[in-house]
Amino acid sequence: MRRKELLQMIEEGENLHCEFKLRFSSHEKIAKEMIAFANTKGGYMIFGIDDDKTIVGVQSEKGEAELIKEAATQYCEPTVKFRLEYIDLYNKEIVVAEIPESDEKPHRLQDYLPEFDITKAQVYVRVNDKSMLASKEMVRILRADAQKSELVKYVVGNNEKIVFDYLDKNETINVKLLSRLANISERRASRTLVKLVRARMLLIHTKDNGEEFFTYAG
């Protein structure tokens, strides 16, 4: 990354692909951010920059780098891949961690369980300029995407028809609403909507507060 590119990123502020860190806080907090980027579209964590865009710099490049490595390898499951760059801005050292979008989704905070447990896994995704805990619906979609398991043949039943009828008259639907409309459990409503996303019939969206809703695809 060139110095000019970094300055432009700082000027644009935090967003879906960029997070500022004044300094390394804790392994778990940094791991959450790295997991969120890896599970979403990738991004940059810039160490030595305050939330108000002030360029402060880090005390030790090597120390910061070692802590970032520990967070990625010991606190993320599976390990999150990253690349570090060290850039001098106005005689202050900045550490940039680039986290690419992963093909091993979903990453989660290390829980030392032998297998992935959707009821216990802490999976994070990036929503605008925040890293947020993913819903079970989002986790299922991440797993399906990673396994390239798109639903090619999908039988549309009564619950799906209720979804389509509702979306023909309204812009969005969510799990609780479908559960009420179809008189089914929220778990079954969730699976119905997730399958429709996997079949590329619906899209899933996340609000700033973490609430999720579904719309027609396209």
User: Which pLDDT score, from 0 to 100, does residue 111 have?
Assistant: 96
User: Which pLDDT score, from 0 to 100, does residue 153 have?
Assistant: 67
Residues 180 and 205 in one domain: yes
Q: Pick from 134, 167, 192: which residue ends a domain? A: 134
User: Which pLDDT score, from 0 to 100, does residue 14 have?
Assistant: 96
Number of domains in the chain: 2
Detail the DSSP E strand segments found in 17-169: 18-21, 43-47, 76-77, 83-89, 92-99, 108-109, 124-127, 130-133
Residues 172 and 212 in one domain: yes
User: Which pLDDT score, from 0 to 100, does residue 107 have?
Assistant: 97
Low-confidence ranges of the chain (pLDDT < 70): 148-153, 218
Model pTM? 0.84
CA distance 181 to 184: 8
DSSP 199: T
111-134 pLDDT, tens digit per residue, is 999 999 999 999 999 998 999 999
Residues 126 and 65 in one domain: yes
Residues 178 and 151 in one domain: yes
Q: Pick from 85, 114, 134: which residue ends a domain? A: 134
Residues 121 and 147 in one domain: no
For 75-157, where are the alpha helices, taking DSSP H only?
Answer: 136-146
Residues 105 and 161 in one domain: no
Chain CA centroid to CA 166, Å: 28
Residues 94 and 18 in one domain: yes
Residues 97 and 176 in one domain: no
DSSP 2: -
CA distance 203 to 216: 6
Supply the CATH number for residue 155's domain.
1.10.10.10
Residues 34 and 130 in one domain: yes
Residues 90 and 184 in one domain: no
Supply the CATH number for residue 108's domain.
3.30.950.30
Residues 125 and 147 in one domain: no
178-215 pLDDT, tens digit per residue, is 999 999 999 999 999 999 998 888 999 888 888 899 99
Q: Pick from 108, 134, 160: which residue ends a domain? A: 134
For the chain, where are the alpha helices, taking DSSP H only?
Answer: 3-12, 27-39, 61-74, 136-146, 158-169, 175-182, 186-198
Boundaries of domain holding 89: 3-134
User: Which pLDDT score, from 0 to 100, does residue 200 have?
Assistant: 83
What value, to the nearest 5°, has the Cα angle with vertex 182 and ends 178 and 187? 60
Helix (H, G, I), strand (E, B) or coil at 171: coil
Residues 49 and 73 in one domain: yes
